[in-house]
Structure 1
């Protein structure tokens, strides 16, 4: 009989990166409900009104981007899968993007009042910079080529999130909001895998192009990054000028833009390196998770993995 539908066979792996990525993502599974966010309330009450406003807005922005990625982004990548195992990895990525988006709401419900939460989402859904970057990325998801969609996804996960990640990492380095930062570190750990995996899949397709096609796509890629960075610079200034962190955040953004390009197998664009980033922020990324006692409530098998900084050779991912 003619085969109508094929069963996925995990004993016949076509690309070992699919299997290793699946294992990595499932090993580091987590849920926001297991992080004791209420322990940060004392720190929260001591923040200034400007700082509280900043925290709410950066998490509102991150919620928007994770919503875009979970509802549209991963689905856009599915139409160009090379193996059935790649689709299984995307299923995991899509679910975790939803976990990320929900995690910010858990933070809001712990730290903010109902009216404050409504104000945050009102600001998020009308902010010109947020809406512009969502429009740029989503239009590529809807009309771009398979390789362009992967570029947009990597730029979103490895670059655009980091203007928001700076805030909780900064507070962590100053011994504040440790549990909020724990969630962000878990999200960063996930996004590191997502970005390198999708970048790897991009490189497979990019290497099959002619030299002329590669040059054309590379020009498009750098033009897109310039466009996104210009918008992100405006977004960053609107958020951080009030607390005086703008230039440090922009350095962090440029560093991560270079990491996104490395994920895609391309040369860095900006001169900024890890040495230029505030060491408090880099330390926040590289330290392991706190491994709270509450994990014992679900048995010794439920342990958080380590949150580690991505090394430069990680962005080559098997190529």
Structure 2
């Protein structure tokens, strides 16, 4: 009989704590039967239920639509998605892994490990789109464009110093900013095209990515709020000031990038409003009010329609399945099936 339930927890370290503690102490395994924070289990369950792979979505059904686009529009799509791939590469390899040492619970550690994989799938998804729709020359050009476009590089660099910052709160803010704000100016384009009957299956992938980002941003915001509540009023105000200053810095960088990206397509102003709308949602996830006006965040109804759970009826975003998410059909085997 166990005299002190979960007494082992207080006498042990997570493997990460052990590694950071000079390799001293006794290590414990993550225990999903003893939950420190119910939100961890809730988020883990939602993320794993939502798991998807880009190979299951028939992007090839967009080939006719893709070929109907002019060279300039194809180049815009390819460049936009390659820019998003860079951000997801940063998030998977730098951002989410940096959150693991700052975790409040053992379960939070493995959730951020899961997030890192999830975001790597997002980066892979763009590669699936490229390999299906684009020529090798188009892909190469887009990657060259990414490394040579300073406005894109500047916004990509902005958050990296905070991920490795010794201040876990500032790191958490940066972790929420990537999925909560910085990607949406790029997301605007596929939704704009889908609303016009273009690249609908490609847009399905973006909706799946967006669904993951919403959970990611919500969770980081929740963990941030839990930590902030433990601080003095003075420190809380200091963190609020930091959040708004960093967000405003990113907004300036985002405006410059989107203006350059969408030059000649008359989309920059709408994409910026879409980004500001989501910046307000990011702040709300951190427990702050949005300072943006209705005019600054006005989005065309056709774009809101694309954000809905059943846009184009291609996906059921609550079950993770939809008409364009191709799942295998299984049946039980019998002895005769193995008689070759």
Q: Identify whether the pair has TM-score above 0.5, normalized to the shorter chain.
A: yes
Tell me the CA shift for residue 99 of structure 1.
0.1
Greater Rg, structure 1 or structure 2?
A: 2
Structure 2: gaps of 5 or more residues? 1-7, 13-25, 316-321, 332-340
1:297 corresponds to 2:328: yes
1:178 corresponding residue in structure 2: 200
2:335 corresponding residue in structure 1: none
Asked whether the 8 Å contact 2:169–2:224 carries over to 1, the reply is: yes
Write the distance in 1 (CA, Å) between the matches of 2:149 and 2:102. 32
Asked whether the 8 Å contact 2:58–2:326 carries over to 1, the reply is: no
Tell me the CA shift for residue 223 of structure 1.
0.8
Asked whether the 8 Å contact 1:255–1:273 carries over to 2, the reply is: no
Superposed, 1:1-319 pairs within 5 Å as 4-143=26-165, 145-272=167-294, 276-288=298-310, 289-290=314-315, 291-292=322-323, 295-299=326-330
Asked whether the 8 Å contact 1:70–1:94 carries over to 2, the reply is: yes
1:317 corresponding residue in structure 2: none
Q: What do the CA deviations read for 1:139-180 (whole angstroms, capped 9, x no partner)?
A: 111225111111111111111100110011111111110110
Partner of 1:125: helix, strand, or coil?
A: helix
Distance 1:295 1:112, change over 3 A: closer
Tell me the CA shift for residue 296 of structure 1.
4.2
Q: What do the CA deviations read for 1:216-247 (whole angstroms, capped 9, x no partner)?
A: 11111111111100010011111113111111
Asked whether the 8 Å contact 1:166–1:249 carries over to 2, the reply is: yes
Asked whether the 8 Å contact 2:58–2:324 carries over to 1, the reply is: no
Distance 1:298 1:187, change over 3 A: farther
1:312 corresponding residue in structure 2: none
* Matched residues, number: 300
Asked whether the 8 Å contact 2:88–2:119 carries over to 1, the reply is: yes
Question: Higher helix fraction: Structure 1 or Structure 2?
Answer: 1
Write the distance in 2 (CA, Å) between the matches of 1:299 and 1:165. 35
Tell me the CA shift for residue 19 of structure 1.
0.2
Tell me the CA shift for residue 73 of structure 1.
0.3
Structure 1: gaps of 5 or more residues? 301-319
Asked whether the 8 Å contact 1:50–1:242 carries over to 2, the reply is: no
State the TM-score, normalized to the length of structure 2: 0.85
Q: What do the CA deviations read for 1:61-118 (whole angstroms, capped 9, x no partner)?
A: 1000000000000111111111111112112111110000011011111111112111
State the TM-score, normalized to the length of structure 1: 0.90
Asked whether the 8 Å contact 1:274–1:282 carries over to 2, the reply is: no
RMSD of aligned C-alpha atoms?
Answer: 1.8
Partner of 1:297: helix, strand, or coil?
A: coil
Write the distance in 2 (CA, Å) between the matches of 1:205 and 1:109. 43
Asked whether the 8 Å contact 2:101–2:109 carries over to 1, the reply is: no
Write the distance in 2 (CA, Å) between the matches of 1:294 and 1:172. 17
Tell me the CA shift for residue 133 of structure 1.
1.5
Partner of 1:143: helix, strand, or coil?
A: coil
